[in-house]
């Protein structure tokens, strides 16, 4: 059921990337950028708020989150700052509440800018639709509060997963210690009753139960309801759920049946070759199974797609497993944009493909829009409302296009990005070769960013910590290989020559603050040198060829704090060692930071004089002048792993 789940690249600006599906976010004003600052235009492309902001968000109910002079506040549609820009960072209003930050502490405000409640928590999640939020105490433990800031669950749990629809939360205190609690703090399922409780989906949660007895006769997997009652025990059944697909959609579960003993199956491919799909109800009763069903979707409005093992085509079925209509399809485009299992028929129509042509069908499997050839071969696709967005992979990048077959609009895949949020609006936000554009519903360009002079370097003015970028390499040495080093670097060390003029018999960091050089091609930067003019090698721990090296700045209290961070990999293969040979140096480029707070900066680097040393030593560069923004002292920003080979979450 995950075989058609794709996530298309969406353009985002800082904290504004998360939006509500199908909500008309921008209303009548649209963000534009000119000379690195943001403003707003109307639907005809006329500028109504002059570009002046470092960042700018969508208008929600007449208010937009913007950044000016390094801090965030809210403007109205006239461009007036109605909630002063006094916060380090923040997010847009949702249900009349916005979460803002100062010095890493969250504050919730209303549309008048009033702080709703005081607290002593380390972190507070955004409030749910029904007004609940998971909080983190100073010791890292989790609890639950309501919109008034009242504590519902004390912060005593390792984790809490709250489910707004069911108004219950799964809590965890340790291995094999899960429970369920309602929004009044009442225990629904005691801790330690189940070894695992999975997410609640459509009123049911998958559970695992085991004893320490040698005889596992009492062990079982199954499902509980929102009252904690076991409604289904899965034991000695002729079917199994796929791993991580244990849920019911519209009270129907999609399961695997087997042609051979499933316990003898060793891998995924063997399971696929020796299984077929069927459907069960919430009591485990078999509704239907069919040896020709190779793949199957979840149910959406009493319909599901099944793939025939022989023909490789899909057909539509109802909740009894009977075929609906006679049409067959090569592909279908469920809208999994909001990550719910039941929504590809949320508009009562879904895009389908046959012989590389696309059309739309209704719940009866009949075409409401006839098949149309898109003339381009696509790699992946996604239905977003009335649009089909498709992607084409080039050698080193992707191109995006979209179509609305109801209006016979087909826009070729020539864009490097498309903001899916704006597909629901009058104007659609796209990116082409680093140039921002807006298209109307006919695919015509209404506005596009002026191309900047590529010879003029931009100021590096950011509103979050910068992610580590000091990559280096050294020749392979057996005793240093250890684990890791998959993220290679071609930044090899160079031999010191007389022209470098580094201090003799010294190891250190040198910065050329006089010369301006390109940082990542388009921003102002400075050259930095890590030199070893001693007679011995210097050693460094590293992650995927990235040194533990970062820029620091003095905050407004005169304390040195990191404004860059080295992310942490969950993969042991990322960790390894590097060395800088005697009489050698590495060369790097750092950004020339520009922000609202003039201050002093320096560079910090961890190193070892012997590669067997357990403790790191620290070397600092000389101090130099710069300026930063307050969020750079604590806010890491949002990061999404690029794929399975990206072992970083920050």
Distances in whole angstroms, Cα of residue 543 to Cα of each of 214, 566, 578: 43, 9, 10
Interatomic CA distance for residues 11 and 194, integer angstroms? 42
Interatomic CA distance for residues 31 and 25, integer angstroms? 11
Region of poorest pLDDT, from 148-152, 382-386, 445-449 = 382-386
Strands (DSSP E) found in 226-349: 230-234, 239-240, 253-258, 275-280, 286-289, 293-296, 304-308, 314-317, 323-329, 331-332
Task: Return the DSSP state at 249.
Answer: B
Region of poorest pLDDT, from 25-39, 454-468, 520-534 = 25-39
Residue 108: which pLDDT band, with cuts at 50, 70 and 90?
very high
Q: Which residues contact 161 (CB under 8 A, 6 or more apart)?
A: 169, 170, 199
Q: Which residues contact 338 (CB under 8 A, 6 or more apart)?
A: 21
Q: What is the pLDDT of residues 339-372, one digit of tens each?
A: 444 567 777 888 888 888 889 999 999 999 999 8
pLDDT the model gives residue 383: 82
- Per the CB < 8 A criterion, the answer to whether 382 and 333 are in contact is yes
Sheet holding 81-87, edge to edge: 55-60, 63-68, 71-75, 81-87
Q: Is the dihedral of CA 160, 163, 169, 172 positive or negative?
A: negative
**pLDDT tops 70 at residue 485:** no
466-633: what fold?
Immunoglobulin-like (2.60.40)
CA atoms within 13 A on the CB side of 1: 27
**pLDDT tops 50 at residue 6:** no
Q: Where does residue 581 rank: exposed (0-12), middle (13-18), buried (19+ CB within 10 A)?
A: middle
- Per the CB < 8 A criterion, the answer to whether 180 and 186 are in contact is no
Residue 481: which pLDDT band, with cuts at 50, 70 and 90?
low
Q: Which residues contact 419 (CB under 8 A, 6 or more apart)?
A: 10, 11, 12, 428, 429, 430
pLDDT the model gives residue 394: 81
Give the residue among 245, 271, 269 at the shortest CA–CA distance from 257.
271
pLDDT the model gives residue 268: 80
User: What is the SS3 assignment for 62?
Assistant: coil
Q: What is the pLDDT of residues 412-434, one digit of tens each?
A: 889 998 888 787 778 889 998 88
Q: Which residues contact 99 (CB under 8 A, 6 or more apart)?
A: 90, 91, 106, 107, 108, 124, 126
Q: Which residues contact 610 (CB under 8 A, 6 or more apart)?
A: 539
Global pTM value = 0.85
User: How large is the average pLDDT for residues 607-611?
Assistant: 91
Give the residue among 80, 87, 45 at the shortest CA–CA distance from 59.
80
Q: What is the pLDDT of residues 65-83, one digit of tens each?
A: 999 999 999 999 999 999 9
Q: Where does residue 453 rank: exposed (0-12), middle (13-18), buried (19+ CB within 10 A)?
A: exposed
Higher pLDDT, 643 or 88: 88
Strands 47-53, 314-317: parallel, antiparallel or unpaired by DSSP? unpaired
**pLDDT tops 80 at residue 214:** no
**pLDDT tops 80 at residue 28:** no
Interatomic CA distance for residues 1 and 307, integer angstroms? 11
Beta bridge partners of 107: 100
Taking the domains of the chain in order of start, what are their residue ranges? 119-234, 466-633
Q: What is the pLDDT of residues 526-560, one digit of tens each?
A: 999 999 999 999 999 999 999 999 999 999 999 99
Mean pLDDT of all residues in the chain? 87
Chain-centroid distance, C-alpha 271: 31
**pLDDT tops 70 at residue 307:** yes
- Per the CB < 8 A criterion, the answer to whether 90 and 630 are in contact is no
pLDDT the model gives residue 14: 29
Interatomic CA distance for residues 300 and 268, integer angstroms? 27
Backbone phi and psi for residue 193, each to the nearest 5 degrees, phi listed first? -75, -35
User: How large is the average pLDDT for residues 157-182?
Assistant: 86
Q: What number of helices (H) and strands (E) belong to the chain?
A: 2, 56
Backbone phi and psi for residue 573, each to the nearest 5 degrees, phi listed first? -70, -10
Residue 617: which pLDDT band, with cuts at 50, 70 and 90?
very high
Region of poorest pLDDT, from 24-33, 198-207, 393-402 = 24-33
Q: What is the pLDDT of residues 232-287, one digit of tens each?
A: 999 889 999 988 889 999 999 999 998 888 777 777 888 888 889 999 999 999 99
């Amino acid at each position: 059921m995950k075989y058609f789940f794709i996530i298309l690249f969406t353009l985002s600006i800082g904290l504004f990337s998360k939006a509500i599906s199908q909500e008309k976010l921008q209303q009548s004003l649209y963000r534009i950028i000119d000379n690195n600052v943001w403003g707003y235009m109307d639907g005809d492309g006329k500028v109504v708020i002059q570009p002046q902001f470092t960042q700018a968000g969508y208008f929600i109910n007449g208010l937009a989150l913007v950044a000016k002079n390094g801090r965030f506040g809210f403007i109205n549609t006239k461009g007036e700052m109605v909630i002063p820009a006094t916060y380090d960072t923040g997010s847009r209003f949702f249900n009349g509440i916005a979460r803002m930050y100062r010095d890493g502490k969250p504050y919730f405000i209303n549309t008048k800018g009033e702080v709703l409640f005081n607290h002593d928590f380390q972190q507070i999640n955004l409030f749910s639709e029904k007004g609940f939020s998971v909080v983190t105490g100073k010791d890292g433990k989790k609890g639950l509060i309501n919109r008034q800031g009242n504590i519902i669950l004390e912060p005593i749990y390792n984790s809490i997963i709250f489910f707004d629809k069911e108004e219950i939360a799964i809590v965890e205190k340790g291995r094999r210690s899960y429970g369920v609690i309602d929004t009044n703090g009442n225990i629904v399922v005691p801790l330690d009753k189940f070894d695992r409780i999975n997410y609640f989906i459509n009123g049911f949660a998958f559970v695992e139960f085991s004893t320490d007895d040698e005889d596992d006769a009492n062990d079982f997997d199954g499902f509980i309801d929102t009252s904690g009652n076991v409604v289904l025990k899965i034991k000695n059944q002729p079917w199994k759920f796929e791993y991580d697909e244990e849920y019911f959609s519209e009270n129907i579960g999609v399961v695997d049946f087997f042609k051979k003993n499933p316990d003898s199956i060793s891998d995924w491919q063997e399971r696929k070759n020796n299984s077929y799909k069927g459907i069960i109800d919430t009591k485990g009763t078999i509704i239907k199974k069919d040896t020709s069903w190779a793949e199957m979707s979840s149910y959406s409005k009493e319909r599901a797609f099944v793939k025939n093992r022989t023909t490789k085509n899909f057909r539509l079925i109802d909740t009894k497993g009977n075929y609906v209509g006679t049409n067959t399809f090569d592909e279908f485009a469920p809208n999994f944009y909001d990550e719910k299992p039941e929504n590809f028929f949320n508009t009562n129509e879904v895009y389908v493909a046959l012989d590389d042509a696309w059309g739309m069908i209704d719940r009866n499997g009949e075409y409401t829009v006839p098949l149309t050839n898109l003339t381009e071969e696509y790699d992946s696709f996604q239905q977003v409302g009335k649009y089909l967005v498709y992607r084409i992979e080039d050698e080193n990048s992707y191109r995006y296009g979209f179509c609305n077959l109801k209006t016979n609009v087909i826009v070729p895949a020539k864009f490097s990005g498309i903001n899916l949020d704006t597909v629901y609006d009058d104007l659609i936000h796209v990116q082409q070769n680093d140039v921002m554009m807006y298209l109307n519903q006919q695919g015509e360009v209404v506005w596009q960013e002026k191309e900047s002079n590529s010879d003029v370097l931009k100021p590096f003015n950011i509103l979050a910590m910068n992610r580590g970028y000091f990559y280096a390499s050294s020749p392979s040495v057996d005793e240093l290989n250890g684990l890791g080093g998959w993220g290679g670097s071609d930044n090899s060390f160079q031999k010191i020559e007389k022209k470098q003029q580094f201090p003799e018999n010294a190891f250190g960091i040198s910065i050329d603050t006089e010369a301006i050089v390109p940082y990542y091609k388009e921003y102002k930067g400075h050259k930095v040198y890590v030199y070893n003019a001693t007679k011995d090698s210097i050693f460094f721990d590293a992650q995927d060829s990235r040194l533990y090296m970062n820029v620091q700045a003095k905050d407004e209290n005169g304390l040195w704090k990191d404004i860059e961070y080295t992310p942490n990999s969950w993969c042991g293969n990322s960790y390894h060692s590097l060395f800088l040979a005697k009489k050698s140096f590495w060369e790097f480029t750092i950004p020339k930071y520009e922000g609202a707070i003039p201050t002093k900066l320096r560079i910090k680097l961890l190193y070892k004089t012997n590669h067997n040393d357990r403790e790191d030593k620290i070397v600092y560069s000389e101090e130099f002048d710069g300026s930063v923004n307050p969020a750079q002292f604590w806010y890491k920003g949002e990061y999404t792993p690029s794929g399975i080979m990206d072992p970083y979450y920050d």
